[in-house]
Structure 1
Amino acid sequence: MKKTSILIAAVAALAFGSAAAAAQEYTAGEVTKIDAAQKKLTIKHGELANLDMPAMTMVFVVAEDSMIEEVKVGQKIEFTADRVNGRITVTDIK
């Protein structure tokens, strides 16, 4: 019984670690438009594997207002995106 508990804990740790790593994958993109009033960025981006989305240009809302001030039109970025309250949202920019 003890071996089973250890095995289950190990599998759970691996599964959680993999999910966390996948959520933090950065995607290359280029900012093509900024709408500060609506807190939206238009980004030409590569594949977003976690959202099962091919490369394209699309509009994203930002998770934090300060992200709008971090970028300029034409800037190359790396970012993460996820569904937040039903909206595809930029969650981090580096």
Structure 2
Amino acid sequence: MQQLIIHGVTLDGQRFRPSDWAERLAGVLSPFRPAGSAGGHLTYSPYALPTLIEGVRCVVVDARLRELEPLAWKFVYEFARDNNLRTSEVPDAAA
């Protein structure tokens, strides 16, 4: 897996609320960055970016976050699970 996508739709098809959940989740993960990378306090981490996919708010989480900070990865994964959110994976192109 190269990326985990957390969709703002529950497993039973309901939109997840609040409407800014993706930005909030990505904001919590903003301190996690590649070594030596610069980033202001108002920028998202390249490992967790909010986006829209087919009109649905999502957070795209880079699998490298798991190696950089396992507890942050666990937090994101459990957030999706605890809120019954749909997830999908984008496989590594080399796999």
Same fold (TM over 0.5): no
| TM-score (norm. length: structure 1) | 0.25
Q: Greater share of helix residues, 1 or 2?
A: 1
| TM-score (norm. length: structure 2) | 0.24
Q: Higher relative CO (CA 8 A, sep ≥ 6), structure 1 or 2?
A: 2
